[in-house]
Amino acid sequence: MRDPIGHRFAQPALLEQALKHRSAGAPHNERLEFLGDGLVNLLVAEALYLRWPSANEGALTRARAELVRESALAPIARALGLGERLTLGPGEMKSGGHRRDSILADAVEAVVAAIYLDAGFERCREVVLPWFQPAMDALPPPNKVGKDAKTRLQEWLQARQHPLPVYALLAESGEEHAKLFRVSCTVPHVNLATEGEGSSRRAAEQIAAEAALSVLTPKPA
């Protein structure tokens, strides 16, 4: 079965270290995370620079921030199945650390560094950029980047004189320090309801709003 990461490691110990949280002892992934943070910023910046040749520095900076923030990296980790592969100490295992956005985002950065050290920059770019492609494709136009999903949904509805969306908390689970929130976003005039899940109620609302926008403003085929 093909590894969802998309890279066969010549040095498997690098991947093992990248997926080892500090709670599980040394050598853990913090140094790799440091290197990976720089690599992710460079790879995303380069991709945006080529994608938007007319965008100014401000728009590029805001778009990069959208793509490399914790709440954007954590879904990548989940898509790659990194949570299930993390090595955690007993305390983090008990508290559900494999689901926490901060730990998952750090793991993505560490894995990026591991690929770079294993196979070089060109291979790292080849493997890693596709992880960001869906989020990059979902970015609004350069002049709209920086507005969060709830703001963009509200503006879209107000421009058409439609009622504002209604957000409701559906469920709350997990330990106090590692909670997950599930929220609904209802757009009354079209009888549309979407859901989002995140490590805070606000994050869940943003995800639900983004889902509503994707229905109301589908991208052309």
Q: What is the 3-state secondary structure (H, E, C) of 135-159?
A: HHHCCCCHHHCCCCHHHHHHHHHHH
33 assigned to a ligand binding site: yes
122 assigned to a ligand binding site: no
At 176, is the pLDDT very low, low, confident or very high (cuts 50, 70, 90)?
A: low
> Which of 92, 101, 109, 118 is the catalytic position?
109
The question of whether 137 is a catalytic residue gets the answer no
pLDDT for 221 beyond 70: no
Percentage of the chain with pLDDT > 70?
Answer: 94
Token pair listed for 33: 């995370």
Q: What is the mean pLDDT of the chain?
A: 90
Architecture, CATH, for domain 12-139: Orthogonal Bundle (1.10)
pLDDT for 132 beyond 90: yes
Q: In 10 A of CB 82, how many CB atoms?
A: 24
Residue-wise pLDDT tens digits, 61-107: 888 988 999 889 999 999 999 999 999 999 888 888 888 889 999 99
* CATH for 149-216, options being 3.30.1240.10, 3.30.160.20, 3.40.50.1370, 3.90.226.10: 3.30.160.20
At 140, is the pLDDT very low, low, confident or very high (cuts 50, 70, 90)?
A: confident
Mean pLDDT of 172-198: 87
The question of whether 109 is a catalytic residue gets the answer yes
Report d(CA 85, CA 7) in Å as an integer.
Answer: 15
- Each domain of the chain, given as residue ranges in start order, spans 12-139, 149-216
Report d(CA 116, CA 169) in Å as an integer.
Answer: 41
Residue-wise pLDDT tens digits, 24-66: 999 999 999 999 999 999 999 999 999 999 988 888 988 898 8
**Domain 12-139 identical in fold to domain 149-216:** no
More confident residue, 41 or 176: 41
